[in-house]
Structure 1
Amino acid sequence: MSDNDVFRTLNQPKPWSGYNAFHSDPLLGDLTRNLARPLREEFDTIGRYVTSPEAQELAQMANTSLPQLKTHGPAGERLDTVAFHPAWHALLRRSMSSGLHSSLWEPPRDADSKSKAHKLRAVRLFLTAQLECGHLEPLSSTSASLAVLAAAPQLRSEWAPKILSRKYDSTNRPQAQKTAATIGLAITEKQAGSDTRGLTTKAARVSEGVYRLTGHKWFVSAPMSDAFVMLADVDGKPGCFLVPRLLEEGRTNALRYQRLKDKLGLRSNATAEIEFSDAFGFLLGAPDGGLRTILDMLTLMRLDSAVMASGLMRAALAEATHSARGRSVQGHALVGRPLMMRVLADLALDVAAAGALSFRLAESFDRARDSAEEAAYARVMTPVTKYWTTKIAPAVVAEAMEVMGGNGFIEDRPITRHYRDAPGLAMNDGAGNMMALDLRRVVEHGSDLFEAVFQVIARDLGASGAKIVELLRAAMALCKSHESAARIFIEQLALAAGAAELYRLGAGRIADAFLETRLAAGWRSSYGMLDTRFDASYVVELLFPEMD
């Protein structure tokens, strides 16, 4: 009896592995169709890897064999290190070789790499997120760190060669002795949370550009990074600093690791609480310009969160659809039952819109330097896209788990890891209310930017564009008058922009269904409410085609 016959006899789907995440995604195929062949071959390689049994086993091990904190050595000496399972290092080694931390800043290899750097990286990140998101966090902060290092050219020239290296180096040595360096982010404090103006960490000037920092950081992601970007108070104003983990002679830079957070998800990546007294830090930008300086880093990381959430949702729904195709109910395939098909199609609409919107944002980053319209889109739509994609991810994955029944609720299935990781992506680099308030600040101080965005949305929506933009203008006015309405505006803007991008990509019937059910219909509390006017089978088969 063949393996397929065994699974049919047991009424169980084959394991979700061995499929190509790139070739099985028609939307991704459309987005990359005109790229050079070597790039498509690279994406093909990543697509095959992320669903392979070997890669899935690494992801499982990295999330079950958790990082271990070592504060002291056998002689009582301070160590302040975190030990990771070899699977973690294998994941990082592979992703660094793909340039997820460096490709934005490398000399372009061809015309596509020069003009589409953000889009190409987004494809790589989207695919790799379908495997495991925890190890992507330090790569996201490392890539984004070069934006803030631009504020200190001498420091950048010293660190950039190691940051751009694709040769992963996990050794516990000063960065000058390593082949590669990673950069973490340390902003949050106990008393301040997301309020960056409530800092108690103090920075005292030692010499030009050099300070000593004293304080405590409550959430420090990737604590084995070679340096951290931190905020600290400089004479009453937030300053931005690069704080090495080890000094040149090899001893720790006064960073005392207190404990590792016991997190719900993203467990492969450690998050530490750190205390420090007189730690050396190097100023990035003006002493009172820390918030402006670090915003460039956070903006890039928010794009990453949106892309990762979109990839994670894609993987979860692909696994659930595969499961529904492999099980039968009363002699019929589960996927063919009308109620199940309606649920899958409804989920697929959100997943498609999230992916389309995330890639559209990445493209705006590529074009922002040469186009005022694209610069406006990037500024307005970064908090919008990050908000909506990460906000819907937990609900999407939870419903996809329910499609699988009990099989979706056991830890040896990838979907359970996606479920635990999804809420963390929403909280990283600014949770929902922070994104809504960020958008409201644009409403108050840069409302002219919205006209450019509305013009893009109206153009891509076609006949319904003018009416929807008028609704958006009304929501914006309400947001300006009432802070509490910011979430209404940010969600409506996300839905309108998501539909617009689906139309622009040529997915007209998918865009019709998304627009009608998300903006024209009444409020819905769960998935599976897709109107019978729309062909659910068409939606599922188009967006999640059955693979041999």
Structure 2
Amino acid sequence: MTQPHAPRSELRTHSVFNQSEPLSGLNLFSADRVLRDAVSRNGGDAHRDHLSAFGTRMGSAEVQEWGRQANENPPKFKPFDRFGHRIDEVEFHPAYHQLMRAGLEAGVSAAAWDTDTAPHTLHSALLMLMGHADAGVCCPMSMTYACVPALRHAGWATDWISGATASAYDPAMKPMAEKAGLTIGMAMTEKQGGSDVRANETRAVSIGGDEVELTGHKWFCSAPMSDGFLTLAYEGEGESAALSCFLVPRWRPDGTRNTIEIQRLKDKLGDRSNASSEIEYHGAYARRVGEPGRGVRTIIDMVNHTRLDCLAGSAGLIRTASFHAIWHADRRAAFQRRLIDQPLMREVLAELAMEAEAAMALAFRVAHAFDTMASDPNEAALARILTPIAKYWICKRAPYLVYEAMEAHGGAGFVEESPLPRMFRQSPLNAIWEGSGNVIALDTLRALSRDPESREALLAYLARGKGQNAALDALIGRIEASLAGGIGEADARRFSEEAALALSALALMDAGLDAASDAFLARRIASQSTTLGAGHGQIDTEKLIERGRLAV
């Protein structure tokens, strides 16, 4: 609920005091030095006015209330109309539509494709700001953003790309030609295979040219209210069958509903405002995207961009949790002192701010690689290897760090009136979506073994950090030794973590964030402590906390 006007604080049994006020009514871009500086460092100053306007909107009490309402009133599956006709629609609370409209009209999905100036830096910042209000709606916005490079493989898909990049929200269940804007979903995995999409059994039967009809099921279809879905299916028979990528529209060319049947909506831990589903194709109309039999190669263009969103979304979530914790500690006292003034709490909050700074610095370093990869082969190689490493580490840190922010609030952070429980339920998602920990770690090893350019780009990037810190030198030496000697599958997580730690330290150092880089080197690399406030080495708690505060 919104903050009530003039609530009573003098009650019959006690006075209400020593409580922090809600964190709302702030410009979440202008007030956040960490986000603002990250955008600036990566060439995004031209977008300051746009981001500031969106930051004001996302920080408003009205939009924060939409986020609460959309999560407390989850979507409902409507398989039939009242007369028994099959419709396969999803009904949402009005707050969900308000959030979708606010994000899409601000360009969360489209802005990266409308500018040549730091496009993915802009997109990542918009996505993080959207996540402050509600992370659930970021899922359909992310897939709509990420579909563009995949759809570019199909010459016939220009109208779909135009609709996906229209910066407009049109929730009407109508054919594409009648809509102001489109959203695109994804339906990849099946029950028997999960991440192993080559175990899929959905079949495509040609009806002429690149048009097919699909029969099969999908275990996860994200955002089933979308106008179209990128999906994988086998075409051909026997040993000649090959996995291809297809776009499955909600409507057939003749204007009838496509035979995509929703079986049920998933009852998820978090991401409650967003619908996820199980579906079946019953001769569903689709068109091939990319070359026949090159489905994984085609869809990987989309996956890489959604992985950028996974790591950026988790970095934004960590940052949100950190400034909520500092906000509360500044305004709450216990044992005759403000929480922020208590030495052990200062250690915890300073390290939480440090982790948020590191996650943001690494996330925007990856976004910068996406920004420049078209013109710089070295950045393109870095993007291919930094993306899985950063996703592995940042997404894995999110649940623990959000939990620490919740604990800093005490019992008040555990009740549903606080935003922390929703953040905590959301926090594991990005580590699972688009490749869970093992899949991502193994993808890192595959990239290093099959992509010599990425391997050399990573080694060269790490070499820049040598000679500045003994513990970092030792860590880089271990990484180089692992690459020289070969890394077995059982060591994939260890390597990914070590590489992510080194890359995080370098991102902080390159950004000139001395207090955060010194603390990260001391607590995460030299001390190798993963629990906040438990590491060795002095850190500048004052500078870390001050920078972690929102500027009110």
**What residue number does 1:514 align with?**
520
Cα deviation, residue 19, structure 1:
2.3
**What residue number does 1:111 align with?**
none
**What residue number does 2:61 align with?**
53
Q: Does 1:495 align with 2:505?
A: no
Cα deviation, residue 313, structure 1:
1.2
2:310 to 305, 310, 316: 305
TM-score (norm 2): 0.93
**What residue number does 1:270 align with?**
275
| Cα distance in 1, alignment partners of residues 386 and 537 from structure 2 | 32
Cα deviation, residue 448, structure 1:
4.5
| Cα distance in 2, alignment partners of residues 33 and 412 from structure 1 | 35
| Cα distance in 1, alignment partners of residues 262 and 284 from structure 2 | 13
2:105 to 58, 83, 97: 97
| Cα distance in 1, alignment partners of residues 253 and 211 from structure 2 | 15
Deviations 1:117-146 (A, max 9, x none): 111111111222122111011111111111
Secondary structure (helix, strand or coil) at the match of 2:182 reads: coil
**What residue number does 1:82 align with?**
90
Cα deviation, residue 339, structure 1:
0.8
Cα deviation, residue 336, structure 1:
0.8
Q: Does 1:27 align with 2:31?
A: no
Secondary structure (helix, strand or coil) at the match of 2:37 reads: helix
AA at the equivalent of 1:87: A
AA at the equivalent of 2:100: L
Deviations 1:91-121 (A, max 9, x none): 0101011111112222x3xxxxx13111111
Secondary structure (helix, strand or coil) at the match of 2:409 reads: helix
**What residue number does 2:443 align with?**
438
- State how 1:395-544 maps to structure 2 within 5 Å: 395-460=400-465, 463-464=468-469, 467-477=474-484, 480-524=486-530, 526-531=531-536, 533-544=538-549
Deviations 1:492-528 (A, max 9, x none): 111111110111111122101102211222444x222
Deviates more, 1:116-125 or 1:459-468: 459-468
Cα deviation, residue 354, structure 1:
0.6
Deviations 1:323-345 (A, max 9, x none): 11111012210111011111111
Cα deviation, residue 443, structure 1:
2.3
Q: Is the 8 A contact 1:461 1:500 kept in 2?
A: no
Q: Does 1:186 align with 2:194?
A: no
1:382 to 369, 372, 387: 387
**What residue number does 1:118 align with?**
120
AA at the equivalent of 1:198: A
Q: Does 1:392 align with 2:397?
A: yes
Secondary structure (helix, strand or coil) at the match of 1:128 reads: helix
Q: Does 1:324 align with 2:324?
A: no
Secondary structure (helix, strand or coil) at the match of 1:216 reads: strand
**What residue number does 1:132 align with?**
134
AA at the equivalent of 1:316: A
- Percent identity of equivalent pairs: 38
Distance 1:461 1:69, change over 3 A: farther
Q: Is the 8 A contact 2:46 2:117 kept in 1?
A: no
| Cα distance in 1, alignment partners of residues 83 and 29 from structure 2 | 51
Q: CA RMSD in A?
A: 2.0
Deviates more, 1:18-27 or 1:433-442: 18-27
Q: Which runs of 5+ in 1 are unaligned?
A: 109-113
**What residue number does 1:69 align with?**
77
AA at the equivalent of 1:395: Y
Q: Does 1:11 align with 2:18?
A: yes
TM-score (norm 1): 0.94
How many corresponding residue pairs? 537
**What residue number does 1:158 align with?**
159
Secondary structure (helix, strand or coil) at the match of 1:463 reads: coil
Cα deviation, residue 429, structure 1:
1.1
Q: Is the 8 A contact 1:458 1:466 kept in 2?
A: no
Secondary structure (helix, strand or coil) at the match of 2:231 reads: strand
**What residue number does 1:254 align with?**
259
Deviates more, 1:119-128 or 1:276-285: 119-128
Secondary structure (helix, strand or coil) at the match of 2:278 reads: strand
Secondary structure (helix, strand or coil) at the match of 2:173 reads: coil
Cα deviation, residue 413, structure 1:
1.5
Secondary structure (helix, strand or coil) at the match of 1:484 reads: helix
Cα deviation, residue 308, structure 1:
0.8
Deviations 1:466-499 (A, max 9, x none): 5443221123356x34201000111111111111
| Cα distance in 2, alignment partners of residues 522 and 469 from structure 1 | 14
1:334 to 332, 335, 339: 339
AA at the equivalent of 1:311: G
Q: Is the 8 A contact 2:150 2:299 kept in 1?
A: yes
Q: Is the 8 A contact 1:129 1:308 kept in 2?
A: yes
| Cα distance in 2, alignment partners of residues 316 and 328 from structure 1 | 19
Deviations 1:347-398 (A, max 9, x none): 1111111111000000001111222221111010110111111111011101
Deviations 1:15-63 (A, max 9, x none): 1212222223222232344767762122122222222211110000000
Secondary structure (helix, strand or coil) at the match of 1:400 reads: helix
Cα deviation, residue 5, structure 1:
12
Q: Is the 8 A contact 1:345 1:530 kept in 2?
A: no
Cα deviation, residue 435, structure 1:
0.7
Cα deviation, residue 3, structure 1:
7.4
| Cα distance in 2, alignment partners of residues 66 and 212 from structure 1 | 32
**What residue number does 1:173 align with?**
174
